[in-house]
Chains A and B, each alone.
Chain A
Amino acid sequence: METILSFEHVNAGYGRVQILNDLTFEVKKGEVYGVIGPNGCGKTTMFNALIGLIIPTQGTITFDGHNVTKVSANTRCRMGIGRTYQVPRPFEGMSVFENVLVAAVHGAGHNEKDGARVALDALKLTELYDKREIRAGELTLLDRKRMEIARALGTEPKLLLLDEVAAGLTEAEVQDVMKMVANLKAAGYSIIWIEHVIQTMVESTDTLMCMAEGHNLIVGNPVEVMNSKLVEDVYLGVEEDE
């Protein structure tokens, strides 16, 4: 399979605090690539570096054959990287429809008429169509997460970044999210999915990476990764030899 994204020896952080530490991995076209790791290991920072909110101090990020290491966030979006946020960040003063329309017009480059069609399709796919005229600030948590995905889809991404979309949801809601991700994969999207709900990762991803201290600890088949001693040590801690 063709590679859509690669990180090569990337160092990045906030000011003088370096979070990503020689991070290297690659994502194939059409796969769901899961990312796990303990809090503070750099998962969300990896997304921030990937979409261009922070610029790496070292290393290379290649997306769809282009070096995007220093490309601005809005340009990367137009190149086909769509992201959701861990804590949903709706444009609260706008309606759900307008939230997705912004993405379709600015992210995918449509005029407003065509953008409206793309936005409505995204809202149907995420089951928000009936709530399209509600002010985004009034949505429930699940609907906010749906809208994050709809907004990312509005940009017509080649690569979709999901940041803990299942966090804080009930079991039934998590199943809904997993079904939605399966539909998105079937529709041909490449997906990177950060999540703490381990069962979700095992069932929904094709490849799983575990991060620790800003680097790639282990990557491979989700079941094998979850059974690995390295992952167990990272999550449960390692007993020091006396």
Chain B
Amino acid sequence: MKKAENLSTRQQPIRVLGGLPMLIIGIILVAVLVVLVFVGSSNTRRILTNVFLYCTMACMWNLLSGFTGMTSLGQQTFVGVAGYSMAVMVTTYGMSYIVGWIVGGAIGAVLALVLSLILFRMRGMYFAIATWVIAEALKTWFTSWGFVGKGGGMTVAGRPDRTMVCLLALILCVVAIVLIYFLLNSKIGLGLTAMRDDADAASSVGVNIFRSKLICFVIAGLFCALAGGLYYRYNGTILPGSGFDIEWTVSLVFIVIIGGIGTMAGPIVGTVVYIALDEFLAKYSGWSNIILGLIAILVILFLPDGILGTLQKKLHFEILSQRRFSKE
């Protein structure tokens, strides 16, 4: 593990946990998860699939809000569109779900590209509300669109190979985390953090704001779409009310805030906590959202940097950090 010397007299040196040791830990963890996917019970596979898919989407929401300053309330747009694309390809056109899944992802990425032309004219709250409005508009449209079964939704034909879907979800999650890590440690990533802190000042030192935002928004759209496609293949039925539900993004916000916004591993910790709570609170269905809301408020009040963010600050370490040190 690399120990970066910090010359500040007020700050302790930050220990960056990365490189080979983290790679080995990561490989062991993935290997254990692969074994669990194959030998676990169907309930274990269901929980793991949810962990992998929510983790993928939360990492992407964190990339948008925590590293780029684009707080989207409309990631459900990509979940819904990809879920329906996959359902149409499989049920209406008789394709395999893999083809439907890839087509759904591609449509998500193209949709993100098109929406960016409108959305990037807005910032802050206006951007957030506009993303939500687009999702709501799509929900209304799909509710009255006969081709996709109107409000009755669609059932994805055939029985899903849930082991394979769970494995694909794990691969998607790993690719998402690795991609974000390399993105943040690239030239673009250096500009993203600057942009999050002050977009105008970043622009005046040469950061191409539009291009950086576009790259992140399209990547987030693609991965949320791919996660959505797998989710609806696993569960088999998609309705406009569920596919385009704001609750998707609310869950992502919860995960990222309790895990630690703007940290690489925060969404992973947040996802595990969220899914564990969700499973535990399933028997108190009327209360679950209230309890989740209360937990979010308590975390914001007492751990404003989230669980991992607070731990990192207190103990002076960072997991998979994108920090640059002068090396002199």
Binding site for B on A (CB under 8 A): 51, 53, 72-74, 77-78, 82-83, 85, 89-95, 97-99, 101-103, 105-109, 111-112, 116, 119-120, 130-135, 138, 151-152, 154-155
A171 to chain B, nearest CB (A): 27
Chain B residues with a Cβ under 8 A of chain A: 4-8, 10-11, 187, 190-191, 193-194, 196-198, 200-209, 262, 323-328
Contact status A102-B10, CB under 8 Å: no
Q: Which residues of A contact B204 (CB under 8 A)?
A: 51, 53, 73-74, 77, 83
Residues of A within 8 A of B206 (CB): 74, 77-78, 103, 106-109, 155
Tell me which of B262, B324, B326 contacts A93 (CB under 8 A).
B262
Secondary structure class of chain B's binding surface, majority of residues: loop
Cβ of B205 and Cβ of A155 under 8 Å apart? yes
Known: A134-B10, A134-B11. A151 touches B205 (CB 8 A): yes
Q: Given A89-B201, A132-B7, A134-B10, A106–B208 Cβ distance below 8 Å? A: yes
Q: How far is the CB of B236 from chain A (nearest CB, A)?
A: 43
Bound CA span A97–B325, Å: 7
B203 and A74 contacting across the interface, CB-CB below 8 Å: yes
Contacts A74-B207, A74-B209; A101 near B200 (Cβ below 8 A): no
Residues from chain B with Cβ under 8 Å of A95 in the complex: 323-325
Minimal beta-carbon separation of B210 from chain A (angstroms): 8
Residue pairs across A and B with Cβ atoms less than 8 A apart, 21 shown, are A74-B203, A77-B204, A82-B205, A91-B197, A91-B198, A92-B197, A93-B196, A93-B197, A102-B190, A103-B206, A106-B202, A106-B206, A106-B208, A107-B205, A107-B206, A111-B187, A120-B326, A133-B5, A134-B7, A134-B8, A154-B205
Q: Give CA–CA (A90, B86) in the complex, Å.
A: 45
Question: Chain B contacts of A92 at CB under 8 A?
Answer: 197
A209 to B7, CA, bound (A): 42
Partner of B194, one of A94, A111, A116, A130: A94
Pairwise interchain contact A98-B323, C-beta atoms closer than 8 A: yes
Residues of A within 8 Å of B198, CB to CB, are 89-91
* Bound Cα distance A51, B8 (Å): 33
Asked if B187 and A105 make an inter-chain contact with CB atoms under 8 angstroms apart, the answer reads: yes
Cβ-defined contact, A120 with B196, below 8 A: no
Most buried by A among B10, B11, B193, B204: B204
Distance from B321 Cβ to chain A, minimum over Cβ atoms (Å)? 11
Residues of A near B324 (CB, < 8 A) are: 95, 97-98, 101, 112, 116
CA A94 to CA B202, docked complex, whole Å: 12
Give complex CA distance A119, B326 in Å.
Answer: 9
Q: Which of A102, A120, A138 has the most CB of B within 10 A?
A: A102
On whether A77 and B200 interact (CB within 8 A), knowing A102-B191, A116-B327, the answer reads: no
Residues of A within 8 A of B190 (CB): 98, 101-102, 105-106, 112
Query: How many angstroms from the CA of A103 to the CA of B206 in the assembled complex?
Result: 7
A-B complex: 6 closest residue pairs judged by Cβ atoms = A107-B206, A106-B206, A91-B197, A77-B206, A103-B205, A89-B201
